[in-house]
């Protein structure tokens, strides 16, 4: 890892929260992600199972964590399973975790080697009434690949068919949505790195620069600040390409007079920042660009003012839709007749704002969390309205990350330039 070691208390707290949510006499097992093959003898870069990382902070392959709060032997109520270090393999692939290192990262004191876990696990399973297993329950994308999680589920059900089974994902969706202060500390570090990178880009962008050169600057800045790298594929979209929400080709020239939409964020300590800013390539907005930008900023600030505990995502989105409608009337994008005659299932404003406004943020960029239950204190959301005008070849989006608290929202990106005049002033330097 490139980042400084995190506080093991972060992961200890997470395990305590999960164990408290388990039904009595339940044993929970989490397994690491696969190391996916690429071509030839190459592998894709390993990415740990987010749930396992949330519980342990361990990023190594072939890892397991077993939680059994009702185990009669207290030593085995939390068990971290690691692959036994192999000195020959280490000559090729690098050092593997030793017991004391894993204890320091995770806060788990009982470490068992993977090649000796079967007999122990069988004993614990026989003491349990229910086995809780993990799966990737993300409603944004179906999992069609038979990953290690699903292979392990099949294996356990074959070996222990008479046990009851429960879904760890259901518990995780509730718990991971609520961030502890220790989690937010790490997230703030990812955001700080992202802020410094954005400020660097304000002095770098000019007419003639290529989108991929900007992306290269992002990589350089992130790695230079001990980030793992980008939390997701950076979107560097100049001109009309900004209307493509997930544009990642980043291979075109940024031209004078265009707006440049940049959607990027650092990953640090496993936690993801997610920033979007739209800036003028030439360093100064035209009057029309500034009017549209300020309308988008108005929507951003309005969304931030109403995203509070108790509101549902549906109600939140509807309110922003009403406000967007008024802004689009002022901009001349909509006529009163468009609004009067709109399809309730496809409202008029959707022509210019066709995506959601917020999503959960944390270990995953689109983090676990319910989209049907009311918003709760402790959640972290993006706030990212956009205005996309095909006839003007213009796309603008403004995105910050906000921590919902009982005493009000905490904008974690409040130090990142957002006003049009501030952006122009910094680009002049």
CA 305, CA 383: separation in Å to the nearest integer? 11
Mode of pairing for the β-strands spanning 259-264 and 235-238: antiparallel
Residue 125: Cβ-neighbour burial (10 angstroms; 0-12, 13-18, 19+): middle
H-run or E-run covering 65: strand 64-67
- Chain CA centroid to CA 262, Å: 17
Of the pLDDT bands very low, low, confident and very high (cuts 50, 70, 90), residue 49 is very high
CA 326, CA 323: separation in Å to the nearest integer? 5
Predicted local distance difference test score (pLDDT) of residue 301: 98
Asked if pLDDT for residue 115 goes beyond 90, the answer is: yes
Of the pLDDT bands very low, low, confident and very high (cuts 50, 70, 90), residue 141 is low
Angle at alpha carbon of residue 57, lines to 136 and 133, rounded to 5°: 35
Of the pLDDT bands very low, low, confident and very high (cuts 50, 70, 90), residue 146 is confident
Between 42 and 78, the higher pLDDT residue: 78
Q: Domains (ranges, CATH) in the chain?
A: 8-175 (3.40.350.10), 181-428 (3.90.230.10)
Predicted local distance difference test score (pLDDT) of residue 372: 86
Q: Tell me the mean pLDDT in the region 296-314.
A: 96
Q: Tell me what the pLDDT averaged over the chain comes to.
A: 96
Asked if pLDDT for residue 235 goes beyond 90, the answer is: yes
Report pLDDT digits (tens) over 155-191.
999 999 999 999 999 999 999 999 999 999 999 999 9
Report pLDDT digits (tens) over 318-358.
999 999 999 999 999 999 999 999 999 999 999 999 999 99
C-beta separation of 132 from 28 below 8 A: yes
For the beta carbon of residue 115, count every other beta carbon within 10 angstroms.
Answer: 9
Report pLDDT digits (tens) over 380-407.
999 999 999 999 999 999 999 999 998 8
Within 207-327, strands assigned E span 229-230, 235-238, 259-264, 266-268, 271-272, 275-280
The DSSP 8-state label assigned to residue 360 in this structure reads: B
Predicted local distance difference test score (pLDDT) of residue 130: 98
Predicted local distance difference test score (pLDDT) of residue 408: 87
H-run or E-run covering 167: strand 164-167
């Amino acid at each position: 890892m490139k980042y400084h070691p995190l506080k093991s208390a972060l992961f200890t707290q997470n395990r305590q929260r999960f164990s408290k949510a388990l039904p009595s006499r339940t044993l929970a097992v989490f397994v690491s992600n696969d190391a996916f093959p690429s071509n030839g003898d190459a592998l894709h870069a390993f990415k740990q199972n987010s749930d396992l990382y949330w519980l342990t902070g361990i990023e190594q392959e072939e890892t397991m964590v077993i939680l059994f709060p009702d185990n009669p032997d207290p030593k085995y109520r939390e068990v971290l399973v690691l692959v036994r270090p192999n000195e020959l393999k280490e000559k090729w692939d690098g050092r593997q975790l030793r017991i004391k290192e894993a204890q320091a990262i995770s806060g788990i004191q009982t470490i068992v080697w993977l090649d000796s876990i079967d007999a122990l696990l069988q004993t614990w399973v026989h003491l349990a009434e229910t086995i809780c297993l993990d799966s990737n329950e993300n409603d944004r994308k179906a999992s069609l690949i038979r990953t290690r999680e699903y292979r392990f589920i099949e294996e356990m059900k074959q070996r222990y068919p008479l046990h009851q089974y429960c879904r760890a994902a259901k518990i995780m969706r509730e718990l991971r949505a609520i961030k502890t202060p220790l989690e937010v500390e790490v997230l703030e570090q990812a955001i700080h790195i992202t802020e410094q990178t954005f400020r660097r880009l304000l002095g770098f962008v000019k007419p003639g620069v290529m989108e991929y050169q900007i992306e290269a600057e992002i990589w350089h800045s992130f790695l230079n600040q001990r980030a793992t790298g980008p939390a997701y594929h950076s979107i560097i979209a100049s001109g009309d390409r900004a209307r493509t929400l997930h544009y990642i080709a980043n291979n075109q020239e940024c031209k004078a007079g265009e707006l440049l939409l940049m959607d990027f964020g650092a990953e640090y300590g496993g936690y993801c920042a997610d920033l979007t800013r739209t800036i003028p390539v030439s360093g100064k907005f035209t009057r029309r660009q500034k009017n549209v930008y300020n309308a988008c900023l108005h929507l951003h600030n309005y969304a931030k003012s109403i995203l509070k505990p108790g509101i549902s995502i549906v109600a939140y989105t509807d309110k922003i839709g009403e406000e967007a409608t008024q802004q689009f009337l002022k901009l001349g994008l909509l006529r009163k007749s468009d609004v009067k005659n709109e399809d309730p299932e496809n409202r008029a404003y959707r022509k210019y704002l066709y995506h959601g406004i917020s999503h959960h943020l944390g270990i995953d960029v689109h983090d676990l969390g319910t989209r049907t239950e009311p918003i709760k204190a402790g959640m972290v959301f993006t706030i990212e309205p956009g205005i996309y005008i095909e006839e003007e070849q213009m796309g603008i989006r403004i995105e910050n990350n906000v921590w919902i608290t009982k005493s009000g929202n905490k904008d974690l990106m409040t130090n990142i330039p957002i006003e049009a005049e501030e952006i122009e002033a910094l680009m002049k330097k």
